[in-house]
Amino acid sequence: MKDEKLTDVAALWQKAKTSHQGQPKANIHELMASAQARKKKALSAHYGNAVVLSITVLLLMFYFYYLYHFQDVLSKIGYHLMIGGLIIRIAIEFFSVWRSKQVHISDTTARSLQQAVAFHHFRKRIHGPVTLIIFVVYFVGFYLLTPEFHKHISLAWLIFMDISALIIAIVLAYIIRKGIRQELVELEKLVELQRSLVSRE
């Protein structure tokens, strides 16, 4: 320490340090393997949503374009809204992965925090208004299909289908809300860390 204020603390620190001189727990090869495994896991977590959404889009396209030929203009608008919404969401997922890679852990703490805050601001927007718009567009698209569906299925099945979609919408709305809250909490913590870093008080 460079002054006398905490000389005894420095002595205590050195004592604690020498009593715990640790040796690496993992050997270097295990660590390298673990690093690679974690990198793969992080990549699958990052791209997981995009893959699930892409499969959904492919299934919808197969269904709407090849299996079931909708005739009404309203229906065509409907399924294009559904597919379009999901495609925009997939593009956002890829952009989100790119943004997450802009947080460099080996940068200075001030810059890393700044990058992390920018990323979470972006995520807040994505989980908030953008997701909400895509969500509404998707379900509006779905309900636009119902008049044509009604020509082919009974009213009971139509009601069952619409209510099921409504339940799914409610569950998704809850998940979206939870996501927004988590992003906000994370953002607040990061901003607090930033403040703590630059503050002299």
Partner 1 sequence: MNPDDQALYEKLYLQYYGMVLTLSRGFMKGDTDMAYDLAQDVFVNVWNALPGYRAEASYKTWIYRITVNTCLLQIRKDKNKIKEPLEAAVLAETDTRESFEDENMLYRAIGQLEEVDRLTIMMVLEEVDYAEIAQILGITENNLRVKIHRIKSKLKLLIDNERRKTY
Contacting positions for partner 1 (CB under 8 A): 1-3, 5-6, 9-10, 12-13, 15-17, 19-26, 28, 31-32, 34-35, 38-39, 103-113, 116, 186, 189, 193, 196-201
Spatial distance between the Cα atoms of 189 and 121, rounded to a whole number of angstroms: 12
Find the shortest distance in angstroms from Cβ 27 to partner 1.
10
What is the distance of C-alpha 179 from the center of its chain?
Answer: 8
Q: Which is nearer to partner 1, 18 or 71 (CB)?
A: 18
Q: Which is nearer to partner 1, 154 or 199 (CB)?
A: 199
Instruction: Give whichever of 80 and 111 is closer to partner 1, judged by the CB atom.
Output: 111
Give least dist CB 130 to partner 1, A.
Answer: 24
61-93 CB burial, b ≥16 within 10 A, e <16:
eeebeeeeebeeeebbebbebbbebbeebbebb
Sign of CA dihedral 51, 52, 54, 58: positive
Q: State the nearest-atom distance from the C-beta of 182 to partner 1, in Å.
A: 10
